[in-house]
């Protein structure tokens, strides 16, 4: 019979990149828009700055995620290559090493040796990757997936404050961008918490707090250094 449980850990890779991208898209673009608008810039200038921030931010997120996750992938591949060589040159030592891991986890030595033998007969490299190196299919690094998810989610997040700038009056621009962006952040934080199995209120509060702080600081900078024409 097929096991019916559905765990959330399989979402870790894409969820982290997507939430980080959308959060950065909203916070950085809203903060940029608010800072420029607080300096007295025209709507067109605010839109240009915001659009440039969207493009630059999306590419930066994609590049950063790709480089970061690629480094993780390189490390994993290097470890797997070394483990594969050790399995070819000293199989018995690898049997003992795997059995020792199972003993540390609570199995008696005889059962640990039996489990080690059976798992290595089925998939020796997979058993060592999972139980010795901590590399599994769920947590394995996927650079392209992470880069795409980050760039796309950043763009979606950044589009929200830009759309607000486009439709609201200039007199209300700063306040409405701030309020609506914080609402977007709260919704995003709640959704991310729900998908990840955490409390919705906790996820919403923590992302909204940092977003509000960033927007307040950029508004202060824009008001301090800007010149209304």
Q: What is the pLDDT of residues 35-87, one digit of tens each?
A: 999 888 889 999 999 999 999 999 998 888 888 878 877 777 777 787 788 77
**pLDDT value for 7:** 44
Residues 6+ apart with CB under 8 A from 148: 62
CA–CA separation, 124 vs 118, rounded Å? Answer: 9
**pLDDT value for 90:** 75
Residues 6+ apart with CB under 8 A from 15: 192, 195, 196
Q: What is the pLDDT of residues 6-41, one digit of tens each?
A: 444 444 555 666 777 888 899 999 999 999 998 888
pTM value > 0.95: no
**pLDDT value for 158:** 92
CA–CA separation, 184 vs 169, rounded Å? Answer: 20
What is the percent of the chain with per-residue pLDDT over 90, rounded to a whole number?
23
Closest-CA residue to 133 (of 67, 44, 72, 214): 72
Distance, CA of 90 to chain centre: 39
Q: What is the pLDDT of residues 135-169, one digit of tens each?
A: 665 455 677 877 888 888 899 999 999 999 988 88
Q: What is the pLDDT of residues 204-221, one digit of tens each?
A: 888 889 889 989 999 888
> What CA dihedral angle connects 181, 185, 188 and 192, to 10 degrees?
170
Nearest-Å Rg of the Cα atoms of the chain is 25
């Amino acid at each position: 019979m097929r096991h019916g449980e559905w765990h959330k850990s399989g979402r870790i890779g894409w969820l982290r990149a997507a939430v980080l991208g959308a959060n950065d898209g909203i916070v950085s673009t809203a903060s940029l828009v608010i800072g420029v608008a607080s300096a007295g810039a025209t709507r067109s200038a605010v839109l240009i700055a915001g659009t440039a921030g969207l493009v630059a931010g999306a590419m930066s997120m994609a590049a950063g995620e790709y480089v970061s996750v690629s480094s993780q992938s390189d490390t994993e591949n290097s470890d797997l290559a070394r483990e594969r060589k050790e399995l070819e040159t000293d199989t018995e030592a690898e049997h003992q090493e795997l059995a020792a891991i199972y003993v540390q986890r609570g199995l008696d030595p005889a059962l640990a040796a039996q489990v080690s033998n059976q798992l290595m007969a089925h998939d020796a490299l997979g058993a060592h990757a999972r139980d010795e190196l901590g590399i599994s299919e769920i947590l394995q690094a996927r650079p392209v997936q992470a880069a795409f998810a980050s760039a796309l989610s950043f763009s979606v997040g950044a589009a929200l404050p830009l759309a607000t700038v486009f439709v609201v009056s200039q007199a209300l621009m700063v306040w409405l961008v701030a309020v609506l962006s914080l609402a977007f952040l709260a919704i995003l934080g709640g959704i991310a918490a729900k998908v990840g199995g955490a409390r919705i209120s906790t996820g919403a509060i923590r992302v909204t707090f940092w977003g509000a702080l960033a927007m307040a600081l950029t508004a202060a900078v824009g008001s301090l250094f800007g010149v209304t024409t």
